[in-house]
Amino acid sequence: MAFEGLSERLQKTFSKLRGKGKVTEADVREMMREVRLALLEADVNFDVTKTFIKTVRERAVGSEVLESLTPAQQVIKIVNEELTKVMGTTAVALNNAPKIPTIIMMVGLQGAGKTTSAGKLVHYLQTEQKARPLLIAADVYRPAAIEQLQTIGQQLQVPVYDEGTQVDPVTIVEHGLTQAREQKNDYVLIDTAGRLEIDTQLMDELRRIKDLAQPNEILLVVDSMTGQAATHVAEGFNEQLDITGVILTKLDGDTRGGAALSIRAVTGKPIKFIGSGEKLAALEVFHPDRMANRILGMGDMMTLIEKAEKDYDAQQAETLTRKMQENSFDFNDFVDQLQQVQKMGPMDEIMKMIPGMANNPALKNAQMDPQDLEHLKAIVYSMTLQERQEPDLLNPSRRRRIAAGAGRPIVEVNRMIKQFKQMQTMMQKMSKGNLNGMEQMMGN
């Protein structure tokens, strides 16, 4: 995941302070040298790093840390606050037009994820606001771009306005906007052309589209994997087009993360969303405070809870609670649970949002392959109905039969039964109001 290197280095630096009764100015200086290197290595812009270090150092050598009984915590608190500040302090909502439609122009270099992000934003607006957007295909240079947008439109069941590749994009946008007004679409997203790098021709075209459409929002899509270049691109587009916000994509990859920390400070424009995967649902509102927590390995419970609320089926959750109380949790529920959790995203990413878990070595193995879930399901489906409800029946000969039926090795069947029993025991404890089981799981 993004920021891994930065996160590890910062935590290592701070761990040296832990347990220290007193911190000297020299300690702070030494530590800030390490933080500076960590930031530069993570591709944070040089000037941003310099200012950041200066601010943190000044605050840290102030009396609040040196005289504190818990200097390590104090320093981490300051770094956390300053990281949050550098990323913009609070989340910034989308601009809305006083009268529909709100017009959003998507700009960015080729391959940054512009078209995908347009689709993600539509999905976001549909789920959050039950919006009825129209997409306009104004990238006429890459024929595949129009097809890609059409496919996204079909997936999300939203109209896509296009006129092929032979018409001037400004004209296409003009006609598209007329259609949106007639059909009372509340949002219009314009997918514009990208280039491999910023050039005058592209900027002229984007400016003409801007002048005509008068968008409420010009969102620049930048690829966080491109490191320092992402910040330069943001600077360039902002100078030419006066963008209103940024979508930072591919934060699910192993990007070093510098762009997230630099763009706001360099351009003065907020990162409004981050892309965290290739799927259309993989878009998150950018919360600077939560991101700072993630970078410092402090988890991100808020995002986790929101994810759980969104992806978790309330009715299933209720049934589960009842089953826990009645002590009738069985193998069918086990598979349901795994499926629910899997919907939330890769397991290791989710676990990292739990405070204190980010650097847990056990997480290295916490990835759950979709294939594994299929295997588990095959094992459960090879059980008789009675066996699924009464796991105690599962003696060695039954286990052998199930393994053969599912086409999986017997050790896998045994492992799954063991996991199931652990889950069952934990649930019994929890339903009796005893949270020790949960705490044990969290490693407390």
Provide the annotated binding site for GTP.
108-115, 191-195, 249-252
**Is 184:148 a contact under the CB 8 Å cutoff?**
no
Site for ligand GDP contains 252 (CB under 6 A): yes
Where b means 16+ CB within 10 Å and e means fewer, 9-36 reads: bbbebbeebeeeeebeeebbeebbeebb
* Partners of 189 in beta bridges: 104, 135
List Cβ neighbours of 435 (8 Å cut-off, separation of 6 or more).
429
Beta carbon of residue 277, minimum distance to ligand GDP (angstroms, whole number): 5
Site for ligand GDP contains 108 (CB under 6 A): yes
Beta carbon of residue 176, minimum distance to ligand GDP (angstroms, whole number): 17
| Stretch touching ligand GDP by CB under 6 A, among 6-14, 114-122, 182-190, 381-389 | 114-122
Count, residues near ligand GDP per rule CB under 6 A: 19
Which amino acid type is present at position 41?
E
**Is 280:152 a contact under the CB 8 Å cutoff?**
yes
Residues 171-210 binding ligand GDP (CB under 6 A) are 194
Binding residues, by number, are 108-115, 191-195, 249-252
Q: First-to-last CA distance in the chain?
A: 24
Site for ligand GDP contains 269 (CB under 6 A): no
Site for ligand GDP contains 236 (CB under 6 A): no
- Classify 99 as helix, strand or coil: coil
Measured from the CB atom, is 194 or 437 closer to ligand GDP? Answer: 194
Measured from the CB atom, is 310 or 421 closer to ligand GDP? Answer: 310
Q: Which of 231, 249, 255, 262 touches ligand GDP by CB under 6 A?
A: 249
| Three-state SS letters, 207-222 | HHHHHHHCCCEEEEEE
In the bound state, the residue with its beta carbon closest to ligand GDP is 275
Site for ligand GDP contains 113 (CB under 6 A): yes
| Stretch touching ligand GDP by CB under 6 A, among 109-117, 163-171, 325-333, 389-397 | 109-117
List Cβ neighbours of 133 (8 Å cut-off, separation of 6 or more).
122, 125, 126, 158, 185, 186, 187, 188, 189
* Cα angle, residue 343 at apex, residues 92 and 281 outer, rounded to 5°: 35
Beta carbon of residue 247, minimum distance to ligand GDP (angstroms, whole number): 9
| Stretch touching ligand GDP by CB under 6 A, among 54-62, 64-72, 275-283, 364-372 | 275-283
- Secondary structure (DSSP) of 349-412: HHHHTSTT-TT-GGGGG----HHHHHHHHHHHHTS-HHHHH-GGG--HHHHHHHHHHHT--HHH
User: CB-hemisphere CA count at 13 Å for 42?
Assistant: 28
Q: x/- string (CB under 6 A) for ligand GDP, residues 50-89?
A: ----------------------------------------
| Stretch touching ligand GDP by CB under 6 A, among 76-84, 105-113, 418-426, 429-437 | 105-113
Beta carbon of residue 275, minimum distance to ligand GDP (angstroms, whole number): 3
Which residues lie near ligand GDP (CB under 6 A)? 108, 110-116, 194, 221, 249-250, 252-253, 275-278, 282
